[in-house]
A and B are shown apart, each in its own frame.
Chain A
Amino acid sequence: MRMDVAIIGSGPAGINAAITLAKKQKSVVVIDEQGKVGGKLIGQLHEDPKDGWWIGKQIAEQMKREAEQVGVIFLLQREVWAIEPGWSIKMSGHEDITASYVIVATGAQENPTPVPGWTLPGTLAIGAAQVLNNYERVRPGKRIAIIGVDPLAFTVAQELKLAGADIVGIYLPPEGLFATEKAKPQSTIGYLSTMAHLAPNPWLRLAGSMAKHHFIQKMGSRFYPKAGMKVFGVPLRLRHSIISIEGTDQVEAITTVKLSSEGKAVKNSEESIVVDAVCISGGLVPLVELASSCKTVYIEELGGYVPLHSPEMKTSKKNLYVCGNITGVEGAKVAMEQGKLAALSIVYKMTGDEQLREEVRSQKEEVNRIRAEATITFMPEIMSGRKKMEQMWNEYVHESRDTHDIR
């Protein structure tokens, strides 16, 4: 099969790129290893202060219908195992797809936080719990503990609660190798303050205004009630961490320990709490493996290694574009706009049409506008991360202008 564009990943970025391309009369195929379209979108469920309930499953289904109407071809349950210049997309089952352009929109994966006992069945990455709960409609457990304090943990806690689960608490990860800062009450309060604008969340608003200054952060961690505070009925336990998960054949309990305001475990404060599931939230990391032939750069503020890319979403490899979380961890709405931007950039390159140049320019602005309006920010310094990327791209273009075709 010969296509104008092949898109890897059917998440919000990939699918919106596909719709945009198809509307511009380009032949486009979307490949995904999952059987359903939508990527991480399918599990999302939260109340947006402006637009009401955001039901990822419905949005994904709607986008899929729209895509099919405009002629997008979906190849699902195909594992892409290599992308070779030309472009040749190698898939399980050995179907041959060649495409003039490729968009890699493989999203992000979760960064694990290992805890003794975390291999026991019943311990899930928080994203897995989200999909089971909101998409599959199967509760991950009856009594659930959450490890890690971040936007995804808050969101999923609320979603589990909505579905009738009993959340025993959101806890800090154990102190140690893997969670040095994340395991301290003080720095966690500091981090929470960066999410102060998380509108649906009253406690965060409080923490945000409380924790703007270092001094107040310190006070906050000292005066943070040892029993925790409830955020929409879920106890947020910033003075406790989970030190192990117990069970023989599956999760049966967690062991928690009290923390001093400096984050040190208080002696003899271990407590065992019966649960049947534990969710671990360790943050998201861009998933770049299929774009590893591109030049990649490390930008902490974007979530780690990301393919070097222009503000128009093109990479160092000719005719290879990226969009969505592979470029930095952000919400679905930003990903969708990035998808549209990548698509318009490709159409502009294919046609050289001046009107498209204008569309690309205004879509770049749209991405920035949506980013500025986002109600959930996963990476607090995302704006400066994006600036760094633009600088790095400009440097790259400058350095390689004689040797590379970076158009």
Chain B
Amino acid sequence: MDCVICRCEEVLLSDIVRAIEDGYTSHREIKLKTRAGMGICQGRTCRLLLDQVIASVSQGPVPKTIGIAPNVPIRPIMLGDLAKGGGKAK
């Protein structure tokens, strides 16, 4: 039975399986292809699930990706808050 995997971007298990079968095999490729992990939670909820799907479809070990690119901001903050540190040099 099909099931939502990425809740933010409404990506289904079948979407991910299809992408893997089409040759998009890594975490990043699946993200770029299906948008899984691109939403407001940035993969916090689906990251580990994606690893499991990859392992299952490719019949390999669960990829032990940390899945955490050191990507700031680590929390979604308002652009206005981010702007407060700017403009010093001007």
A-side residues, CB < 8 A to B, are: 33, 79-82, 90, 92-94, 109, 111-112, 114-119, 174, 177-178, 243-244, 285, 288-290, 292-293, 296, 298, 304-305
In the complex, A212 Cα to B29 Cα: how many Å? 44
Question: Known: A81-B73, A81-B75. Is A292-B3 also a contact (CB below 8 A)?
Answer: no
A111 touches B48 (CB 8 A): yes
Which residues does chain B contribute within 8 Å of A290, judged by CB atoms? 74
Given A79-B77, A81-B74, verify A116-B66 contact (CB < 8 Å). Answer: no
What chain A residues lie within 8 Å of B48 (beta carbons)?
111-112, 285, 304
B68 contacts across to A, CB distance below 8 A: 288-289, 292, 305
B22 located at the interface, meaning its Cβ lies under 8 Å from any Cβ of chain A in the complex: no
| Residues in B neighbouring A285, C-beta threshold 8 A | 48
| Shortest Cβ distance from B4 into A: residue | A119
CB distance from B19 to the nearest CB of A (A): 15
Name which of A80, A92, A119 has the most chain B CB atoms within 10 A of its CB. A92
Inter-chain contact B1/A305, CB cutoff 8 Å = no
**Are A118's CB and B74's CB within 8 A?**
no
Closest to A288 in B: B68
Residues of B64-88 contacting chain A, CB below 8 A: 64, 66, 68, 70, 72-75, 77-78, 81-82, 84-85
**Residues of chain A with a CB closer than 8 A to B70's CB:** 292-293
CB atoms of B1 and A244 under 8 A apart: yes
- Identify the 8 closest CB pairs spanning chains A and B, nearest first: A81-B73, A94-B84, A79-B75, A82-B72, A116-B3, A81-B75, A92-B77, A292-B68
In whole Å, how far is B90's beta carbon from the nearest beta carbon of chain A? 17
Cα–Cα, bound, A298→B46 (Å) = 18
- Residues B52 and A177 in contact, CB atoms below 8 Å apart: yes
Provide 8 A-B residue pairs closer than 8 Å at the C-beta atoms, listed in order of the A residue. Answer: A82-B73, A90-B73, A119-B7, A174-B1, A177-B56, A288-B68, A298-B66, A304-B48
Contact B3 A92 (CB under 8 A): no
Distance, CA A290 to CA B81, complexed state (A) = 19
Tell me how far the C-beta of A264 lies from the nearest C-beta in chain B, rounded to whole angstroms.
16
Chain A: minimal CB distance from B44 (Å): 7
Q: How far is the CB of A97 from chain B (nearest CB, A)?
A: 13
Q: Is B45 an interface residue (CB 8 A)?
A: yes
A90→B56 CA distance, assembly (Å) = 39
Q: For B66, what are the chain A residues with a Cβ–Cβ distance below 8 Å?
A: 288, 292, 296, 298, 305
Q: Please, which residues of chain A bring their CB within 8 A of the CB of B84?
A: 93-94
Q: 11 new A-B pairs (CB below 8 Å) besides A81-B74, A243-B1?
A: A80-B75, A81-B72, A82-B73, A92-B77, A92-B78, A112-B48, A114-B5, A177-B52, A285-B48, A288-B66, A289-B68
Knowing A94-B84, A292-B70, the reply to whether A81 touches B3 (Cβ < 8 A) is no
Bound Cα distance from A271 to B19, whole angstroms: 33
Return A118 CB to nearest CB of chain B, in Å. 7
Contact across chains for B53 and A177 when beta carbons are under 8 A apart: yes
Are B1 and A92 closer than 8 Å at their CB atoms?
no
| Cβ distance B86 to chain A, nearest Cβ, rounded Å | 10
Q: Is the CB of B1 within 8 A of A114?
A: no
Instruction: Return chain A residues, CB-CB under 8 Å to B82.
Output: 94
- Quick one: which of A79, A92, A118, A178 contacts B52, CB cutoff 8 A? A178
Asked if A94 and B81 sit within 8 Å, CB to CB, the answer is yes
Q: With a CB–CB cut-off of 8 A, which chain B residues contact A119?
A: 4, 7
Closest Cβ–Cβ distance, residue B8 to chain A (whole Å): 11
B44 contacts across to A, CB distance below 8 A: 109, 289
How many Å lie between the Cα of A243 and that of B53 in the bound state? 18
